[in-house]
Amino acid sequence: MKIGELAQRSGCNIETVRFYEREGLLDAPERDSNGYRRYAEANLVELNFILHCRSLGMGLPEVRTLRSFQANPELACDEINHLIDRHIDRTHEQIAALRVLEQQLRALRDTCHANRKTSECGIMRNLTQAADGHECSCHSHEGKAVID
């Protein structure tokens, strides 16, 4: 199959296929006599594996590691387990950071409840103060949102 069909069947775009090929994540396909790439079903399976890993939030280095284990199925999977454990830990950190962000956004939202002019809006005042280098009166301290 040509690159367009591979992209369509995998649900990604052609540039993504080329990128993964350049990065060495996707095995290089055969070439027709005219130089066009000719992908096999195995390339589709590889691409779907890469896309699934990426949908789980894994970075290219993690996908590269997992692809190397795919190429060497006789290896022990301890490193794979550690890779996933580290990814879980990072996910927990991201969740905690998103909770703090949510608190900050709620505190910012609480600075304006009325239908006012923009010049009187607490949200705009806080955003402008933060842009001027002043601490936002809705900034989070020690993980708790506060309002001045």
pLDDT in tens, 86-96: 999 999 999 99
Q: What is the DSSP string of 101-114?
A: HHHHHHHHHTT--S
The class (CATH top level) of 3-75 is mainly alpha
Contacts of 20 (CB under 8 A, 6+ apart): 26, 47, 50
How many CB atoms sit inside 10 A of residue 8's CB?
A: 13
Q: Is the pLDDT of residue 140 over 70?
A: no
22-32: pLDDT as tens digits: 999 999 999 99
Spell out the domain ranges in the chain: 3-75, 92-145
Q: What are the angstrom distances between the C-alpha of 141 and each of 58, 94, 104, 127, 128?
A: 31, 18, 10, 17, 19
Q: Around Cβ 63, how many Cβ atoms within 10 Å?
A: 20
For residue 37, give the 3-state DSSP assignment. strand
> CB–CB of 29/38 below 8 Å?
yes
Tens-digit pLDDT profile for residues 27-72 = 999 999 998 899 999 999 999 999 999 999 999 999 999 999 999 9
The tokens for 105 are 């956004």
Positive/negative CA dihedral, 49, 54, 57, 60: positive
Residue 139: pLDDT band with limits 50, 70, 90: low
Is the Cβ–Cβ distance between 31 and 46 less than 8 Å? no
Average pLDDT taken over every residue of the chain: 90
Both structure tokens of 4: 């367009």
Say how far apart CA 107 and CA 144 lie, in whole Å. Answer: 10
